[in-house]
Structure 1
Amino acid sequence: MSPAAKSSLRALGSIELQTRRELIHARLRQAISAGDLAPGTHLAEVDLSEALGVSRGTLREALRQLQQEGLLVPDARGRLSVRVVSEREVEEIFAVRHALESLALELICAREDRAAVVAQVRAQLESLREAEGDFTAQLDADLAFHERVCELSGNATLLHSWRSVSGLARAAITAAGPQTALHNMAYQRHAPIADYLQAGDAAGGREFLRTHMHDAARRIEQRMRQRAEPATR
């Protein structure tokens, strides 16, 4: 076999490995989002690799990505568990999101091509309507919508910052359970964002986002307290 052919085969193997890692990452993230892997659950590498039918090396890559997203945390011995989000963290996460997304709205409102950008925002918004009733699909659609707004701001640093807290946001939303999360992620709660952008009303959009984020955080915190009550009695 020629060196060129061998090189091609090695490249194909790398693609397969990358795809497998991404599939594992997606499957575990979905399990965490759906609550199948509850907060505090310890993820044993041996058991997971056997259950998923993959090598521990490939699994570690997927787990490392989930850790970078904030969905997994290590203990003192380096063992990974599903993140347990505190009420204070919920408060901080949504405050940071408000700051970032308010800036994104301001930047979009200042764009000369705002009409075309708003059309893209509305198209992304439709994914929330289509996903309603399916918790994991709606969670993905909700985060994708907010990420798209940040992306359309044209500020790469803003987008990078938002993505750095998106995993924590996912963990916080999941902590409240499906009923609370589905209310927070409803289409009608997000539609006004596109309306403020279309009107070029950055100040109104910022205040709407403040209420939007505050109400979402309050519902999550309330539900977290309710779920913790039986354990404290």
Structure 2
Amino acid sequence: MVVASTRKLVTANFQEQVADGLRQMIISGELGPGDALSEVNLAETFGISRTPVREALKQLQIEGLVEIRSRVGTFVAAPSRREINELFEMKQLLEGAAARLMAARGNIPELEAMRSNVADADAAVLAGDTARYAELVREFHEILIVGADNGKLATHYRILMNQLAYGRLVKTSLAQPGRSLDSEREHHRVLDLIIAKDGAGAEQLMRHHVQASHHAVMAGLNAAGPAR
């Protein structure tokens, strides 16, 4: 019994390691939509048996990150245009709510972190460093979610961001002419409203900001190829 329980625990730990590793590779864009995922190759890469790899892929399928096709194979999920639209609609709601909640909390540590983030982002935009600005965009939104101090909101938000593979879509958005400058101006205005404790204003503007990013992403995707 003890041996069997230990084996299950070890398998579960390996499964978690594989799931975490693949999740980050998908979110970052290292693995792109439609890329094939071989159980054999992944087992060799992680130095483990195929069982925890198989369970990790099932877990990522539940999260919407991979697609398992019977008798065909396993692939990184490629969200349709409709799915991306729906996910961005939810992103508007969650980030808008987060801005309102953060504004109600007053002078919290996340407020100073957001000020610092916006200052660093100003420098990145001025220098034309889109890669650095993309990192700071993701950080700004993460600070917002943490600053809302709502665990349920944060959990749903992170699942949503994983399904969007948001790191990749940020780059698509910022590739649109003038989007980096507009995005940073929007961040400034959101910060100002949070500082002023204007929850309603912060929520409305944050939703507008997400909508603008959504439009930029779709423009980039439509330019890249036909919709699914």
The alignment's TM-score, normalised by the length of structure 1, stands at 0.70
For residues 121-145 of structure 1, give each alpha carbon's deviation from its aligned partner in whole angstroms, at most 9, with x where no partner exists: 427836974996547x945x64454
What is the distance in 2 between the residues matched to 1:29 and 1:148?
21
Given candidates 220, 224, 233, the residue that maps to 2:221 is: 224
Secondary structure of 1:161's partner?
Answer: helix
Secondary structure of 2:190's partner?
Answer: helix
Offset at residue 190 of structure 1 (A)? 3.1
In structure 2, the gaps of 5 or more residues are: none
In structure 1, the gaps of 5 or more residues are: 1-5
Offset at residue 82 of structure 1 (A)? 0.8
Percent identical residues = 26
The answer to whether residue 212 in structure 2 is matched with residue 215 in structure 1 is: yes
Distance 1:123 1:93, change over 3 A: same
Matched residue, 1:45: 39
For residues 68-97 of structure 1, give each alpha carbon's deviation from its aligned partner in whole angstroms, at most 9, with x where no partner exists: 432212235584311111222222111111
- AA of the residue aligned to 1:165: L
Is residue 69–residue 166 contact of structure 1 (8 Å, CA) maintained in 2? no
Is residue 128–residue 138 contact of structure 1 (8 Å, CA) maintained in 2? no
Offset at residue 192 of structure 1 (A)? 3.3
- AA of the residue aligned to 1:221: M
- AA of the residue aligned to 2:199: A
Distance 1:34 1:102, change over 3 A: closer
Number of aligned residue pairs = 216
Is residue 41–residue 81 contact of structure 1 (8 Å, CA) maintained in 2? yes
- AA of the residue aligned to 1:210: R
Is residue 35–residue 75 contact of structure 2 (8 Å, CA) maintained in 1? yes
Matched residue, 1:74: 68
**Aligned Cα RMSD in Å?**
4.0
What is the distance in 2 between the residues matched to 1:68 and 1:128?
37
Secondary structure of 1:37's partner?
Answer: coil
> Which is further off, 116-125 or 214-223?
116-125
Is residue 147–residue 159 contact of structure 1 (8 Å, CA) maintained in 2? no
Is residue 121–residue 149 contact of structure 1 (8 Å, CA) maintained in 2? no
What is the distance in 2 between the residues matched to 1:98 and 1:221?
15
Given candidates 134, 148, 157, the residue that maps to 2:152 is: 157
- 1:53-202 alignment runs, 5 A limit: 53-76=47-70, 79-111=73-105, 114-119=106-111, 121-122=113-114, 125=117, 129=121, 133-134=130-131, 138=134, 142-143=137-138, 145-170=140-165, 174=168, 176=169, 178-181=171-174, 188=184, 189-202=186-199
The answer to whether residue 26 in structure 2 is matched with residue 32 in structure 1 is: yes
Secondary structure of 1:115's partner?
Answer: coil
What is the distance in 2 between the residues matched to 1:168 and 1:67?
10
Distance 1:48 1:123, change over 3 A: farther
Is residue 111–residue 147 contact of structure 2 (8 Å, CA) maintained in 1? no
What is the distance in 2 between the residues matched to 1:79 and 1:181?
33
For residues 209-233 of structure 1, give each alpha carbon's deviation from its aligned partner in whole angstroms, at most 9, with x where no partner exists: 222111211121122122215x99x
What is the distance in 1 between the residues matched to 2:189 and 2:22?
33
For residues 144-192 of structure 1, give each alpha carbon's deviation from its aligned partner in whole angstroms, at most 9, with x where no partner exists: 5424423332333222222231212225x52x58353567688825343
Secondary structure of 2:75's partner?
Answer: strand
